[in-house]
Amino acid sequence: MTRDETGTKGAKLTGLIEFSTDSLVYIHGIDYVGVSKKFKNDDLQKQWRETALQHKNPDEGLIVRTSMENESESVFLDRLTGLRELHKELEVKASSLKAPSLLYERDAYLDMIISEMSGTATGELAIDDFEAYRELKKWIQENRKEWEISHIPGPKNIFSEWNVEAQVEKMAKKIVWLENGGYLIFEETEAFTVIDVNSGKFTGKVAKEATLFAVNQAAAKEVARQLRLRNISGIILIDFINMDSSRHEQEIIEIVKKEAVRDEKRIQVIGFTELGILQMTRKRTSPSLSEMTTVSCPVCSGSGKIESPETVAFRLERELLEHRKTDDEAVWVEVSKAVAEVLLGEKETYRPTLEELIAKKIFLSLIPGSTNAYSIKRFGSIQEIGRAFQ
């Protein structure tokens, strides 16, 4: 799989047999060599391409990842040998099994953790699965990483102990506060994401331009961080606070580009529009955090807004007026409290007028909850509706 399923787009698959580590990808059945574009040293990038070409077989494809940049050739050969042996073992296993059979199953959970750890030089990891702890500790030692890992035994909830739940809740909020008092507002849509920068509580003690520039500087760094945390991809528009200095705009672009280097996804910073909006893109390879953890509200369909009591009440009144010439004497309507107050007026002063207009007596029952809605239950004689109403 080269791309996860996102929205209406299905997953992108390949028929090639591929085995990967954090520093080397081995592909059987293709003649190819690739080297990560994130190498900081162009000479090393060229050197690793030549090394891969020298040691690969004609029916092998190799992709040298960023974490291999400062490794030795012996480490490269060890990884390559291990991946070749794994492929041969599976070929032998496949010849002795009847199809369909499972040949090889990777631990996606461990792979995900290792992928995250390999992209960072140092860090700290706490895990409550002992077998996973042993595997990860072995990986850290073999790859000479400076990560600290600890096993948390017993019934403790790691998410509670490390305050993870609260952090995840914060990432789901639309507003993100900056340390200097400014704040960001995130609006995700299917087509693109808009981020609005506001000065908020930060007024500054110097000139206005310098104050706005300080807010935008802090916002540029936090935006880059939030894009990684929330895994926001696609087209991104950042509405920074307007600045008079074009030099300050260029400095904001440079901050965003500098922060983008830390991102594992490819980012392209296009520049400011005439309206002062920074355009950029971030490669989409998996759903965003909000797509994975939330669904559209069944009431507002994800818009964040519902119809007002006035809108719903006027629609109900129009629908009742359509039945004013029928022979029915009464109508039973179920409505929310807010809609009922608008429909009948304060202390039901409008009830006589409405009943005269529709030529029917109104029996009203309330729908529990805060949603503004109504339902016309039935029409009939006053006796029939009265008995049903009770």
What pLDDT, in 10s, does the model give residues 91-105?
A: 898 888 888 888 888
* CA neighbours closer than 13 Å in the CB half-sphere of residue 231: 13
Q: Would 43 be classed as within a structural domain?
A: yes
pLDDT in tens, 44-94: 899 999 999 999 998 899 999 888 888 888 888 988 988 998 889 888 988
Is the peptide bond between 100 and the residue preceding it cis, with omega within 30 degrees of 0? Answer: yes
Residues 192 and 285 in one domain: yes
* pLDDT, position 204: 53
**pLDDT class of 374 with cuts at 50, 70, 90:** very high
Three-state secondary structure string covering 214-257: HHHHHHHHHHHHHHHHHCCCEEEEEECCCCCCHHHHHHHHHHHH
* pLDDT, position 202: 61
pLDDT in tens, 169-179: 888 888 999 88
**Strands of the chain, DSSP E:** 17-20, 24-28, 32-35, 60-64, 122-127, 146-151, 175-177, 183-188, 192-198, 234-239, 267-272, 277-282, 330-336, 361-367, 374-380
Separation CA 101–CA 131 (nearest Å): 26
Residues 283 and 313 in one domain: no
- Model's pTM, two decimal places? 0.59
Q: Would 44 be classed as within a structural domain?
A: yes
Distance of CA 214 to the CA centre of its chain: 28
Name which of 3-7, 30-34, 115-119 the model is least confident about.
3-7
pLDDT in tens, 182-211: 899 999 887 899 999 998 766 555 557 788
**pLDDT class of 119 with cuts at 50, 70, 90:** low
- Which residues span the domain enclosing 51? 17-95
- DSSP-based three-state secondary structure for 351: helix
Q: Would 12 be classed as within a structural domain?
A: no
Cβ(87)–Cβ(26) below 8 Å: yes
Residues 135 and 39 in one domain: no
Q: Would 4 be classed as within a structural domain?
A: no
Residue 304 has pLDDT above 90, yes or no: no
Looking at residue 326, which CATH number applies to its domain?
Answer: 3.40.1260.20
Q: State how many domains the chain has.
A: 4
Mean pLDDT of the chain: 86
Q: Which of 62, 95, 128 marks a domain boundary? A: 95
* pLDDT, position 146: 84
Query: Mean pLDDT across the stretch 254-279?
Result: 90
**pLDDT class of 116 with cuts at 50, 70, 90:** confident
Buried b / exposed e over 154-187, threshold 16 CB at 10 Å, is eeeeeeeeeeeeeeeeeeeeeebebebebbbebe
* pLDDT, position 348: 92
Q: Would 139 be classed as within a structural domain?
A: yes
* pLDDT, position 63: 93
